[in-house]
Amino acid sequence: MVKRFFEAEWSFIGVVVFFITHGYSQNLFLVPLPALFMLLAILLAAALALFFIAKKVFRNTTKATLFASFVLILILFFGAMQEFLVQYRFTHLLGRLVVLVPLSLLAMLLFFIFLKRTKRTFTRTIIYLNVLLLVYILIDTGVIIAGITKYTDQRKPPVGKNGWPACDTCSKPSVYLVMLDSYFGSEGMRRYFNYDNRDFENYLQSEGFQINKGSLSNYTFTVFSIASTFNMDYLRDPGSITYNNHYAYTQATRALQYNKVMAFFAAQGYTINNYSSFDMSGLPAYHSSELLPDKIRLITKQTMFYRVNKYLGPFLIRKGWLSPEKMEEEYIGTMEEMMQKVLNGSSTDKGRPDFTYLHLMMPHGPYVFDSLGNRMINGSVSATGSSYDPHEQFLQYQVYTNRKISGFISQLKQKTGGKAAILLMSDHGYRPSFKMDRKLSYCNLNALYLPRQNYSGWYDGISNVNQFRVLFNALYGENLPLLKDSMVVQ
């Protein structure tokens, strides 16, 4: 019975099951189970279709099984192969999509020709594949079971005697966190671009904002910076702080889902609004971003289809073969829609206060507008016909962002009657500036407005990890110690 099981031609099914179990074990609780089972059903149907087509071509069940397994491995684990190749200097060129995709297709063709011509039976190969896949599936199943046991308690909001007590005597104003992605702090603008950002700072000060000069982010990648900010702590031993480090990425994503800041506001009776691309504390992301895979895409991002689909559009745009306008219109529309939603939902006569998180991909690329609000065609030429290099594009778009956010802040203050706290921050600075000085890429924006104008707890040089520690101390009488303001070097 056991021998027959391991000699049976089911390895192509095993590849699919291993892909699903391995993906879920790495992203425990982050992938909705209905979507996971739907993906499993789709992949199993595709695998069976591929197997039966191959069986008709080869007229041999074993060869059809091997070919289907080989194709599925190349397609489903394409991302893992790409990430392995790009990490080494002597193989990184092979990891480029324009190289790796043709090589993968060529490998499929050569394997097809080999199977078509050979007369081997491959009995041992089938047994080896079946045993290997079964071992991998059992290991991942064990990881999932252990992870469920480990993380179940972490999923519960830390409220009550083991977490945040409600403050019955606090004034509890509504709080708005406006996060500008990649906004470069004034010091960085001055040193890197020789640009004086004083007009924007003067505007904020005229609106009663405190500007914390010399502020810094703790990380220069968004998901790590936001996870740290919302947990008021540094990430614990994540390893290399890059999106290619899957462990670090999932640790940060999981920390966001069950973060301490939103748990605190929930304990104080706040209504929480999430206008971002992150799932946070039971609140789904408002929109999805290809830059930050979430939900089922945490698993499918390893496939050949996802990688090609993600980069094909930008590649065709760079080559001038595709207009970027549709992509940019969706991008612009999402930002405008979120800002309008926040304004429409802001009011002074609500029964309970709000905590609203608004994450705008501004001045993060694509750099759509120049400083005067003219559309930059194809991301390289403005409507006036002026050409820009990428650094100039960023500068132009940040100046435009100043104008856009100034109008938004004025409207938000008016809507809330000046009675809401507004935190205006950026997750990190302009990353390419690290070539001049590594510290510059951490140079961010940190400004805030408090209804009572009491800014004694804030200080120049504050970093994002301490932002909510100071806020909670100031508004709710907490006594949270401040952490050392540090830059976590990649």
In this prediction, residue 348 carries a pLDDT of 67
Give residue 234's pLDDT band: very low, low, confident or very high (50, 70, 90).
very high
For residues 383 and 196, the model is more confident at 196
Q: Peptide bond preceding 366: is omega within 30 degrees of 0, i.e. cis?
A: yes
Show the beta-strand stretches assigned E in 90-230.
Answer: 175-180, 210-211
Hey, what domains does the chain have and what are their CATH numbers? 2-154 (no CATH), 161-476 (3.40.720.10)
Statement: residue 152 has pLDDT above 80: no
For the residues 403-412, what does the mean pLDDT come to?
96
For the residues 249-277, what does the mean pLDDT come to?
90
Instruction: Compute how many other C-beta atoms are within 10 angstroms of the C-beta atom of residue 311.
Output: 14
Q: Distance between CA 218 and CA 196 in Å, rounded?
A: 24
In this prediction, residue 449 carries a pLDDT of 97
In this prediction, residue 293 carries a pLDDT of 67
Statement: residue 37 has pLDDT above 50: yes
In this prediction, residue 181 carries a pLDDT of 96
Statement: residue 368 has pLDDT above 50: yes
For the residues 36-41, what does the mean pLDDT come to?
95
The residues near 25 (Cβ < 8 Å, ≥ 6 apart) are 140, 141, 143, 144, 147
In this prediction, residue 151 carries a pLDDT of 62
Q: Distance between CA 93 and CA 178 in Å, rounded?
A: 39
Give residue 329's pLDDT band: very low, low, confident or very high (50, 70, 90).
confident
Give residue 273's pLDDT band: very low, low, confident or very high (50, 70, 90).
very high
Statement: residue 253 has pLDDT above 60: yes
CA angle at 176 for the pair 175 and 179, rounded to the nearest 5°: 145
Statement: residue 387 has pLDDT above 60: no
Lowest-confidence range among 49-53, 287-291, 455-459, 481-485? Answer: 287-291
Instruction: Compute how many other C-beta atoms are within 10 angstroms of the C-beta atom of residue 44.
Output: 15
Statement: residue 67 has pLDDT above 50: yes
For residues 152 and 230, the model is more confident at 230
What single-letter DSSP state applies at residue 463? B
Helix then strand then coil, in percent of the chain rounded to 5, is 55, 10, 35
For the residues 441-463, what does the mean pLDDT come to?
94
In this prediction, residue 194 carries a pLDDT of 96
Average pLDDT of the chain, as a whole number: 87
Q: Distance between CA 384 and CA 124 in Å, rounded?
A: 68
Longest dimension (CA), the chain: 84
Statement: residue 159 has pLDDT above 60: no
DSSP string, 312-323: HHHHHHHTTSS-
pTM: 0.78
Q: Distance between CA 259 and CA 302 in Å, rounded?
A: 27
